[in-house]
Structure 1
Amino acid sequence: MILLDMTIVNVALPKIEESLGFTQAGLAWVVNGYLLMSGGLLMLGGRLADVFGRRRLLLTGVVVFAVASAVCGAALSPGMMVAGRFGQGTAEAIAAPASLGLIALLFTDHKERTKALGIWGGLMALGGTLGYIISGLLTDLASWRWIFYINLPVAVLVLVLLPRLVSESRMVREKNEGLDVTGAITSTAGLFGIVFGLLQAAEHPWGSARVVLPLVAGVFLLLVTLIVERRAANPLIPLQFFNNRTRSVVNVASLFFMAAFISYTFMLTLFEQQILDYSPLRSGLGYLPLGFAIGAGIGIGTGMIPRFGVKAVAAVGFIGAGVGLFLTSLLDTNSSYLGGILPGMVVFGVFAGSTMPAATNAALHGVTAQDSGLASGVQNTMQQVGSALGLAVLVTLALRYAGDEIQNGVAPDTAVTSGYTLAFRVGAALMVLGGVLIMALFERVNPELRNPTAEVVEVIR
């Protein structure tokens, strides 16, 4: 349910924009509202589950997710929709860490635990892929509102069954450890300020108060976060964690990766439906090759790591994904799916998928068993933050460029397409930059493929 909602809104975005009267810059908040809250509060959610109980936090997260989904489905204005998406993102930060912990603890036999975690991971991947298709079906055959209402029966099922099947569990602590709530609040608020300021720049001059004030406030709050984390007895993310060069570089590269990836799917959906006049269903089905390509890339990357090493596989994967985005940037208003969209999508998907196992290995480079959960959490947080910042920067870039082109007499469809293709090129540059940083700065990483889920299981156990 959670992973479904990360992708299910993409195909319905044009209909949501039309129905609720979003501006294109404002529409980015339908995605960013979710990403900011889930990324900003994810580490805190994991700590809360440890302290107050994983079953309790999972049930709480499901309730919040259901209520927020109902708010989104019933939205009558942009503000109501964005508020609901903030609620859904908060619910993910509460429920997702608790769900992994519970599954790991339910199965004490090693083989059964491995099978259960494999099913859990498979369902998450399936949810992310099916989101595009289900969104197209529901939006075409019913209404975009049902992409949110579909969560309600799932939530009811979980609330009925979970208390009967799962006992409570929490981490036993040798001493009382406080929760770094202040760090979570200041970091999330700081990111909100920066993203808000960047999106305002799509419609207002860079020197205007609407842009400058939130940007300054956001940077200030992030600086406050650094001070809080340095002084906190039990910080959410200990700053010394970034002393390892490989882990630091891969997290920066992950930020670039998700900035380009989320912006790609966001703008490609708008291009297909608003410029090429695709239906939501056709647009949703058009993403199937991307899912297959990513799956193939993951398999290829996993097989290549023992032979060529993490550094080479990750660097080539990032650069190859950049090539795929560059191919996508060649689109124009007369492009076809087979000749225009599909080639870049397949190249991007295969190479992007190949980076994933390598990036996971690098994110866990040099960590102890006790820190492996932290390493996985930091990587997930950086991916969510990168998605939000990338969407804010690249959508703003595309809209400002399109606006300038229209003022110069260019036809609106051509101008908007030019804005999107410029953003795709910048995304391609970010991917290539990530690959160059990996090649230049990675230390030697043990090529043995590491399973982050297994590492987390060991910590919990």
Structure 2
Amino acid sequence: MTLAFVREDARMPTATSPPRPGTEAGPAALPRNAGAVLAIACAAQFMVILDVSIVNVALPSLRAELHLSAVGQQWIVNAYTLGFAGLLLLGGRAADLVGTKRAFLTGLTVFTLASLVGGFATDGALLIAARAVQGVGGALLAPATLTLITTTFTEPAARTRAVGAWSAVMAAGGATGAIVGGVLTQYAGWRWVFFVNVPLGLVLLAAALAYVPAAAGARGGLRRLDLPGAATVTAGLTALVYGIISSETHGWDSATVWVPVAAAVVLLAAFVLIESRVAHPLVPLAILRRRTLATANLVVILIGAAMFSMWFLVSLHLQQVLGYDALRAGLCFVPGSLAIIAGARVATRVVDRAGARPLLMTGMALSTVGFAWLSQIRAGGSYAADVLAPFLLVTLGMGLASMPVTMTATSGIPREQAGLASGLANTSRQVGGALGLAVLGTIASHTTAAALAHNAHDVPAALAAGYGRGLLIAAVCTACAALGGLALPGRGRTAKP
């Protein structure tokens, strides 16, 4: 799917292509291997995002074999997103300082090896640890993919097409993960949800070595990485999510909840203080004064919270309420994958004429209606009657919105900060996903527990009520994202600094 989608963009003219009549090859001409770089970057990003959702369909099998609790089940997903989100900023700066190719290859190697370990895991603790290391590899890899694109495709029209391909592949990765996870879990077992990354990683390593141009990082780049900043932001986010998830089994007045939440506030405040004082900050605070960039990243957080939670909640509803097996549940996500790709293709074609704001607001309005409709799921319903139509609205809206907001968050940025902007955009998405899953998953669990307290015998109805409540909060997230679009550029080129 990935290579088929980028095939059209891979044929974009390169530096060796003859100029069209009436044009001249100039500084905007693309490097010789631009098409291959685009395909490699999209494939790597697809693999990273795939792993956010590929385990969702396998969760019931994982829970049964490894004897996981409901909280442990959430941590299989959250360990990855937290390792990913917490170090994405460091990964973005690494691409700027030590070279994009070096960061890409390192991240891909770590990701592939961690996937191998995860496939061999014999208990929940080892699997959660492997997922966290996968996230670390993804944190190095993902910003490098977007940096490769934004520094290779500098001509505006070519960059629009390239980022459009990258955004669509990224958005489709979530839905495709459920499909691939369902097929693998049903026919090969849940371990192949992790093993599948190994051959893919090896192929990408060989392709990157052959086609990605070497780019030397700044001299002494590793010494300029802001490790204290990375440590405090990672620990702060982890503590925050842990505290929220712990509220599922402990009250909010429990020390198990408020101690990590308080620690998160202190750690994140320390992060801001460190960034304001170190010579080479992980996030120069001045970059956040760019109104368009700051707003775009806030919108990305909200989109990530809604999207990541959707894969989790809908997958569990299909299996635990409607009784679908892993394969059937995975196949139910096929229409959503197609809708995301269709929305992204439309956005790519019209964003330069319409601007980011109308596309984002239209997409988020569609997703909001879809989520509100989807929140009405019930135990006695069916996929065709209760899930399919609203799911298509949600995913079509996500496809329309993802590309323009990514363009806005990464355009108008100096080349030496391209990795940082890419890291911020990816971090915002993953932070939103981790926090959204923690909050919405916890709300769903509390709602289910309350329903069971009234009727302990109707478990499917209680589960459906919980998943529906979580999806309703997702509708609130996308509605807020639509309102945030009012602050983004309207007609004309996206992303003026």
1:341 aligns with 2:378: no
Work out the CA distance in 2 between the residues paired with 1:404 and 1:25: 17
Contact 1:203–1:400 (CA under 8 A) maintained in structure 2: no
Contact 2:451–2:462 (CA under 8 A) maintained in structure 1: yes
Tell me the alpha carbon deviations over residues 9-48 of structure 1, each in whole angstroms, 9 at most, x when there is no partner. Answer: 1221221122212222221111111111112112212333
Contact 1:68–1:87 (CA under 8 A) maintained in structure 2: yes
Q: Gaps (5+ residues) in structure 1?
A: 456-461
CA change 1:19–1:377 in 2 (3 A) is: same
Equivalent residue runs for 1:46-445 within 5 Å: 46-99=92-145, 128-159=174-205, 163=209, 168-172=214-218, 178-364=224-410, 367-410=413-456, 411-439=458-486, 442=487, 444-445=489-490
Contact 1:25–1:395 (CA under 8 A) maintained in structure 2: no
Work out the CA distance in 1 between the residues paired with 2:143 and 2:478: 28
Paired AA for residue 33 in structure 1: A
Q: After superposing the two structures, state which structure 1 stretch, 9-18 or 388-397, moved more.
A: 9-18
Work out the CA distance in 1 between the residues paired with 2:77 and 2:222: 37
CA change 1:107–1:423 in 2 (3 A) is: closer
Work out the CA distance in 1 between the residues paired with 2:105 and 2:300: 30
Work out the CA distance in 2 between the residues paired with 1:246 and 1:111: 20
Q: Number of matched residues?
A: 450
Paired AA for residue 230 in structure 1: S
Contact 1:34–1:88 (CA under 8 A) maintained in structure 2: yes
Tell me the alpha carbon deviations over residues 295-337 of structure 1, each in whole angstroms, 9 at most, x when there is no partner. Answer: 2222333445455443233223222211110110111001111
Counterpart of 1:459 in structure 2 is none
Contact 1:177–1:234 (CA under 8 A) maintained in structure 2: no
Tell me the alpha carbon deviations over residues 360-383 of structure 1, each in whole angstroms, 9 at most, x when there is no partner. Answer: 243246544554443332121101
CA change 1:355–1:157 in 2 (3 A) is: closer
Q: After superposing the two structures, state which structure 1 stretch, 208-217 or 246-255, moved more.
A: 246-255
Work out the CA distance in 2 between the residues paired with 1:351 and 1:197: 31
Paired AA for residue 493 in structure 2: E
Contact 1:25–1:396 (CA under 8 A) maintained in structure 2: no
Paired AA for residue 359 in structure 2: V
Report deviation, 1:225. Answer: 0.4
Work out the CA distance in 1 between the residues paired with 2:421 and 2:205: 30
Task: Give SS of 2:431's match.
Answer: helix
Work out the CA distance in 2 between the residues paired with 1:69 and 1:58: 17
Counterpart of 2:69 in structure 1 is 23
Paired AA for residue 475 in structure 2: A
Tell me the alpha carbon deviations over residues 214-238 of structure 1, each in whole angstroms, 9 at most, x when there is no partner. Answer: 1111111001001011112121211
Work out the CA distance in 2 between the residues paired with 1:257 and 1:108: 27
Work out the CA distance in 2 between the residues paired with 1:113 and 1:97: 16
Paired AA for residue 73 in structure 2: L
CA change 1:206–1:136 in 2 (3 A) is: same
Contact 2:339–2:392 (CA under 8 A) maintained in structure 1: yes
CA change 1:281–1:259 in 2 (3 A) is: same
Task: Give SS of 1:448's match.
Answer: coil
CA change 1:346–1:98 in 2 (3 A) is: closer
Work out the CA distance in 1 between the residues paired with 2:207 and 2:422: 29
Work out the CA distance in 2 between the residues paired with 1:356 and 1:407: 40
CA change 1:248–1:109 in 2 (3 A) is: closer
Percent identity between matched residues is 36
TM (norm. structure 1) is 0.88
Q: After superposing the two structures, state which structure 1 stretch, 368-377 or 65-74, moved more.
A: 368-377
Task: Give SS of 2:301's match.
Answer: helix
Contact 1:65–1:88 (CA under 8 A) maintained in structure 2: yes
CA change 1:101–1:317 in 2 (3 A) is: closer
Contact 1:246–1:365 (CA under 8 A) maintained in structure 2: no
Paired AA for residue 283 in structure 1: A
Counterpart of 2:493 in structure 1 is 448
CA change 1:89–1:106 in 2 (3 A) is: same
Contact 2:53–2:312 (CA under 8 A) maintained in structure 1: no
Q: After superposing the two structures, state which structure 1 stretch, 155-164 or 333-342, moved more.
A: 155-164
CA change 1:380–1:131 in 2 (3 A) is: same
Q: After superposing the two structures, state which structure 1 stretch, 421-430 or 11-20, moved more.
A: 11-20
Q: After superposing the two structures, state which structure 1 stretch, 161-170 or 56-65, moved more.
A: 161-170
Contact 1:251–1:379 (CA under 8 A) maintained in structure 2: yes
Task: Give SS of 2:347's match.
Answer: helix
CA change 1:240–1:107 in 2 (3 A) is: closer
Tell me the alpha carbon deviations over residues 349-396 of structure 1, each in whole angstroms, 9 at most, x when there is no partner. Answer: 112211123312432465445544433321211011000000000101
Q: Gaps (5+ residues) in structure 2?
A: 1-46
Work out the CA distance in 1 between the residues paired with 2:405 and 2:221: 34
CA change 1:213–1:145 in 2 (3 A) is: same
Work out the CA distance in 2 between the residues paired with 1:278 and 1:446: 45
CA change 1:265–1:60 in 2 (3 A) is: same
Work out the CA distance in 1 between the residues paired with 2:442 and 2:381: 24
Q: After superposing the two structures, state which structure 1 stretch, 367-376 or 336-345, moved more.
A: 367-376
Work out the CA distance in 2 between the residues paired with 1:184 and 1:94: 13
